[in-house]
Amino acid sequence: MEILSYVVEGELTHRDSMGSSETLGRGAIQFMSAGTGVRHSEHNRHPSNLLRFLQIWIQPNARGLKPQYGSRTFTEADRTNRLFHAVTGPTAAAAGALASPPDDRRIVISQDANVFVSEFDPEHPQTFPVRTGRQAYLVCIEGELYVNDTKMATRDALMAAGPIDLQFSTPTRAHFLMVEMARER
C-alpha cells in the first residue's frame, strides 16, 4: 500500500521498524510504501494540542515492493492561491496532471496518481481539467469551497469523473486536497 498522511493541524509523530522516526507539522506529507511489510505507529505526542491529518491509502502498481518511508515539508506559500502538485506517479508526466514546473521536493509513489493541495482566497479562483479516463477525489479541509455549482463545507468530499473542468472558488478562504488518478475500467 502507498500511504500518504497530510498534516492539517498539530504534530504527527511517526516511528517504524525500518528505524524511521520524526515529528511533522502543518503542511507536511509523510509517505510510506508498506511493500513487503513494515510495522509502524503514528501518534500525537503533545499533551494538549489537537492533531488533525488526512491519511490516504493508494493501491500500488506492483506487488512485492521494498518498504520505504519519507516526508516532505511544504510551506503555506507553496500551496497559497495555486494548485500545488505535491505527489505524482513514477513518471514526471503522469497522465492528467497539471503542467507545472519540476519540483524536486515532489513525492513519487508507485501508482499513476497525483495529489494537489491548495489554500486560496476569493480573488484567486482555480481550474483543473479532469481528462477522459481520469477521476478526481476532493476533500474540503477548511473553509467553504465551490466546485462548479456544488457547495462544499469543511470535511465534505466530492468525486468527479472526466472529462470535466473543475472550477474552484471560495467566498472567504478554502483549503482542500485533491487526488487525481486513472478511472477503474
* Average pLDDT over the chain, rounded to an integer: 90
Q: What is the pTM of this model?
A: 0.90
Q: Determine contact, residues 85/106, Cβ cutoff 8 Å.
A: yes
Predicted local distance difference test score (pLDDT) of residue 93: 43
d(CA 53, CA 12): 8
Predicted local distance difference test score (pLDDT) of residue 95: 46
Question: Of 32, 55, 73, which one is at a domain's C-terminal end?
Answer: 73
Place of cell 473542468: 165
- 79 & 159 share domain: yes
Q: Residue range 63-84: average pLDDT?
A: 92
- 59 & 97 share domain: no
DSSP state of 19: S
φ and ψ at residue 79, rounded to 5 degrees: -110, 0
- 106 & 172 share domain: yes
Q: Report pLDDT digits (tens) over 108-148.
A: 999 999 999 999 999 999 999 999 999 999 999 999 999 99
Q: Judge whether residue 92 has pLDDT over 60.
A: no
Predicted local distance difference test score (pLDDT) of residue 59: 94
Strand order in the sheet with 21-24: 21-24, 12-16, 40-43
DSSP string, 62-74: SSSPPPEEEEEE-
Predicted local distance difference test score (pLDDT) of residue 142: 97
Domain count, the chain: 2
- 138 & 160 share domain: yes
- 126 & 177 share domain: yes
- 60 & 128 share domain: no
> Which of the four pLDDT bands, split at 50, 70 and 90, describes residue 184?
confident
Q: What angle do CA 158, 155, 6 make, to 5 degrees?
A: 95
- 80 & 168 share domain: yes
- 39 & 124 share domain: no
Q: Report pLDDT digits (tens) over 15-51.
A: 878 888 899 999 999 999 888 888 888 888 888 999 9
Strand 126-130 relative to strand 164-169, pairing: antiparallel
Q: Residue range 45-63: average pLDDT?
A: 93
Predicted local distance difference test score (pLDDT) of residue 102: 56
Q: Report pLDDT digits (tens) over 94-116.
A: 444 554 555 677 899 999 999 99
Question: Of 51, 73, 95, which one is at a domain's C-terminal end?
Answer: 73
Q: Judge whether residue 52 has pLDDT over 70.
A: yes
Instruction: Give the domain range for residue 128.
Output: 75-185
- 101 & 185 share domain: yes
- 114 & 60 share domain: no
- 12 & 87 share domain: no
Q: What is the domain-level CATH number for residue 145?
A: 2.60.120.10
Q: Judge whether residue 151 has pLDDT over 90.
A: yes
Q: Judge whether residue 185 has pLDDT over 80.
A: no
Predicted local distance difference test score (pLDDT) of residue 103: 67
- 153 & 122 share domain: yes
Question: Of 38, 73, 108, which one is at a domain's C-terminal end?
Answer: 73
Predicted local distance difference test score (pLDDT) of residue 53: 96
